[in-house]
Amino acid sequence: MYKAFAALLCAALFAACSSAPRQDHTDASVRVSGVRVDLSDTQKVKQVLNQQYKEWNHVQHRMGGTSKKGIDCSGFVYQTYRTRLGVDVPRSTESQSKTGSAVKQKQLRAGDLVFFKTGVFSRHVGMYIDKGDFLHVSTRKGVMISNLEETYWRSAYWKARRIQ
């Protein structure tokens, strides 16, 4: 009984956005777009992120997913950066958290990656839009916009990275 409980506990702890992705490239839109958006153009990046939200709103969470059949947080960042911004980023939350340069929360701008510690071994990532809002994939509600000032996100906030 103890071994079964321990195995179940370990599986639960490692089931997070930062887990190894399943290959799910059934959506042809995973290719890098021919257009590269200037990431310092915050108005354009906000526009792109808001359009991405409209197109993906409520697509459900699926660990390892990268398509509208289901997507996880790092897959959504990966997919958005590749297809909408024309920029390659790593696929995993862990690798994304080491990409680009550190940025202070007070200096966030559209497109910055925001990271959260959501459990002992779990990490979560989203893309900053503006005024505390960020685009991400909730395990319960799918693709959505949340705000950094919400109690949960404020307490789980870890760091931010700027992709150049």
Q: Is 113 exposed, middle or buried (0-12, 13-18, 19+ CB in 10 A)?
A: buried
Name 70's bridge partners: 67
The CATH number of the domain holding residue 158 is: 3.90.1720.10
**Quick check: is 69 in a domain?**
yes
Active site members: 73, 124, 136
**Quick check: is 25 in a domain?**
no
Cα 163 to Cα 24, 93, 101, 111, 126, distances in angstroms = 24, 14, 7, 8, 13
User: Is the pLDDT score of 9 beyond 60?
Assistant: no
pLDDT digits (tens, 9 = 90+) for 43-64: 999 999 999 999 999 899 999 9
Residue reference for tokens 């994939």: 137
**Quick check: is 27 in a domain?**
no
pLDDT digits (tens, 9 = 90+) for 15-30: 456 544 444 333 333 3
**Quick check: is 32 in a domain?**
no
Strands 142-147 and 157-162: unpaired
Cα 68 to Cα 10, 24, 26, 62, 163, distances in angstroms = 29, 10, 9, 10, 24
**Quick check: is 26 in a domain?**
no
Q: Give the domain extent around 81.
A: 2-19+37-162
For 55, half-sphere exposure in the C-beta direction (CA atoms, 13 angstrom radius) is 14
**Quick check: is 41 in a domain?**
yes
pLDDT digits (tens, 9 = 90+) for 99-124: 999 999 999 999 999 999 999 999 99
How many domains does the chain divide into? 1
**Quick check: is 29 in a domain?**
no
**Quick check: is 100 in a domain?**
yes
Strands 142-147 and 101-102: unpaired
Question: What is the reported pTM?
Answer: 0.83
Cα 112 to Cα 28, 30, 46, 106, 158, distances in angstroms = 25, 20, 11, 12, 13
